[in-house]
Amino acid sequence: MSQNLYAQFEERFPHDDGAPAMALPDGRIVPYGELKVQSARYANLLVSLGAKPGDRIAAQVEKSPCAVFLYLGALRAGCVFLPMNPAYQSGELAHLLGDARPHVFVVRPQAAAQGRELAAQAAVPHVLELSDDGEGELAVAAAQHAPRFATISRSADDLAAILYTSGTTGRAKGAMLTHRNLGIGVSTLHKFWGFKPGDVLLHILPIYHFHGLFVTLHCALWNGSAMWFEPKFDAKRAVALLPRSTVCMGVPTHYVRMLAEPGLNPEACREMRLFISGSAPLLPDIFNAFRERTGHTILERYGMTEGGMFASNPYGGERRCGTVGQALPGVSLRVMNGEGQAAAPGVTGQIEVKGDNVFAGYWRLPEKTAEEHTADGYFKTGDLGQLSKNGYLTIVGRDKDLIISGGLNIYPKEIEEVIDALAGVRESAVIGLKHPDFGEAVAAIVVREAAAVSQPQAEEVVQAVKSRLASFKVPKSVYFVDDLPRNAMGKVQKNLLRERFA
Ligand code: AMP
């Protein structure tokens, strides 16, 4: 039987072709019937361009219904979808195109000249334009193709997508995701998070990333749900849409911004059954403030491009602040100490995972793939964490963020928590800076509350850490900034801080 992910979605689509799939800010509704027809047209277009099963279809476009039609069309044609962050510049694009060698590259008109040049260098046969509002060459070409397409059979191990991971060091690597990885991933989340008929999803994430594409969009399609399909996140609009939504998935920044909206209250959330956060740590202050304001406890989960979701707080049970919950069904998750043994509860170690949702390896990098796996088949996530006695996982940071000062391991999060608790501090990032004696020295980058009555000075930050933690963890330097640099998924870009304060 075909394991094509699209076929699995289509089986679950509502029987009524008129049932809404996407509702757009301009009032336009894309019904499920149109998803079927348009994805067929796009699949026919790709085949007419000579795309064969296994060929990559790359897209550097904004979030629009056409981007979704293209993705589904690529799946139907048996191709491998390769979404790219619109923020990628020519160096990054050249690497991705040269590495993935797509058959088709879809670009925004404003980046088309550069896109065509880079595509020519990488011998990409076809370049088509799609504008931010979903118009242009690609949409026009697709409209000329037939509205029916027999979805091409795929086996579970065939690739459905390649997502390049941001990789703060070195070159981006393509994480290969199979139809099995994505199918198991979405069916697990759908069940675990209690999706039910009538759910309406508030879709505020970009769709070039795992979170927006393979968690949020997939859950809605698997459930045959309607989505508020927001091309860009706007906190005021998001809060205005809450009374007509039941599930929202976001990154912590979204929740911070929603909290700044006076309209966020229990009445606005009366239809909501679930708020989910992930991709970056949800600070306890935000978790608590959101609960106080709305009566809802945000469910935090943990995952990454290399396979999706690994752990989640429960839908029914206790959602524990500061943790990402327990391993999801079907995922085997362990925390290992430096000696290759399971770390005791409460002890920090490397997080490793195994499961059918975990990716099939890095594209054209078998050695790197082998390096990142253990002999017994676990993927080394590169994240550091601790498990509680009953299996709740706390993320402590990335192992590359680990600071080694005078030969001692220092986990930034422990220090950040002390600094964040100081009155007048909004948030902080602790990094290691090169030091002639210690190898690395602890530096604290602190954002103060603009409206604080008295703003803490460097000496108070140092004293606070000194009074609570071992002396080798005390920052040697403290810098104040207005904001921490974050990427679109809300992750603090510590690499930029390390460069800036080097
Ligand atoms: P990406 O591959 O871009 O999705 O990034 C994955 C990384 O984001 C993980 O390896 C973690 O370091 C981080 N991450 C994801 N979810 C969380 C979370 N809930 N709390 C803390 N870090 C997270």
Q: What is the CATH number of the domain that holds 471?
A: 3.30.300.30
Q: Is residue 347 a part of any domain in this protein?
A: no
Ligand 1 centroid distance, CA of 35 (Å): 31
Are 48 and 148 members of one domain? yes
Confidence of residue 379 (pLDDT cuts 50, 70, 90): very high
Are 150 and 214 members of one domain? no
pLDDT at 248: 98
Percent of the chain with pLDDT over 90: 86
Q: Structurally, how many domains does the chain consist of?
A: 3
Q: Is residue 362 a part of any domain in this protein?
A: no
pTM of the predicted model over 0.85: yes
Q: Is residue 371 a part of any domain in this protein?
A: no
- From residue 312, how far is each of 278, 328, 392 by CA, in Å? 9, 6, 9
Ligand 1 centroid distance, CA of 281 (Å): 8
* Sign of the alpha-carbon dihedral angle for 32, 34, 38, 40: positive
pLDDT at 452: 76
**Mean pLDDT for the stretch of residues 261-267:** 98
Are 150 and 207 members of one domain? no
**Predicted confidence (pLDDT) per residue in 278-332, tens digit:** 998 998 999 999 999 999 999 999 999 998 999 999 999 999 999 999 999 999 9
Ligand 1 centroid distance, CA of 309 (Å): 10
Cβ of 302 less than 6 Å from ligand 1? yes
Are 150 and 197 members of one domain? no
Are 268 and 409 members of one domain? no
Q: Is residue 290 a part of any domain in this protein?
A: yes
Cβ of 250 less than 6 Å from ligand 1? no
Helix axes 5-12, 179-192, angle to 10 degrees: 30
Query: What is the residue with the minimal CA distance to atom 21 of ligand 1?
Result: 281
Q: Which of 240, 266, 297 is the last residue of a domain?
A: 297
**Predicted confidence (pLDDT) per residue in 83-127, tens digit:** 998 988 888 899 999 999 999 999 999 999 999 999 999 999 999
Q: Which of 273, 297, 321 is the last residue of a domain?
A: 297
Q: Is residue 164 a part of any domain in this protein?
A: no
Q: 465 lies in which domain range? A: 402-501
Q: Which of 280, 297, 314 is the last residue of a domain?
A: 297
* Sign of the alpha-carbon dihedral angle for 356, 227, 194, 275: positive
Mutate to test the pocket of ligand 1, among 255, 304, 321 (most ligand atoms within 8 A of CB): 304
Are 13 and 61 members of one domain? yes
Are 483 and 419 members of one domain? yes
- 119: closest CA among 88, 100, 138, 94? 94
Query: What is the residue with the minimal CA distance to atom 16 of ligand 1?
Result: 279
The sheet that has 439-448: what strands, in order across it? 425-435, 439-448, 477-481
Query: What is the residue with the minimal CA distance to atom 23 of ligand 1?
Result: 280
Are 147 and 214 members of one domain? no
How would you class 21 by CB atoms within 10 Å of its CB: exposed for 0-12, middle for 13-18, buried for 19 or more? buried
Are 199 and 125 members of one domain? no
Cβ of 126 less than 6 Å from ligand 1? no
Cβ of 280 less than 6 Å from ligand 1? yes
- 472: closest CA among 435, 495, 433, 441? 441
Average model confidence (pLDDT) across the chain: 95
Domain with 289 in it: what CATH number?
3.40.50.980
- On the question of pLDDT at 169 being above 70, the answer is no
Cβ of 210 less than 6 Å from ligand 1? yes
Are 86 and 227 members of one domain? no
Chain centroid to Cα 257, Å, comes to 18
Cβ of 166 less than 6 Å from ligand 1? yes
Ligand 1 centroid distance, CA of 65 (Å): 27
Are 204 and 107 members of one domain? no
Which ligand 1 atom is nearest residue 306's CA? 2
pLDDT at 168: 43
Which ligand 1 atom is nearest residue 301's CA? 19
Q: Is residue 370 a part of any domain in this protein?
A: no
Which stretches within 156-308 are classed as H helix? 179-192, 210, 218-223, 235-241, 252-259, 284-294
Q: Is residue 46 a part of any domain in this protein?
A: yes
How would you class 414 by CB atoms within 10 Å of its CB: exposed for 0-12, middle for 13-18, buried for 19 or more? middle
Q: Is residue 335 a part of any domain in this protein?
A: no
Ligand 1 centroid distance, CA of 344 (Å): 23
Are 288 and 208 members of one domain? yes
**Predicted confidence (pLDDT) per residue in 391-423, tens digit:** 999 999 888 888 988 778 888 998 999 999 999
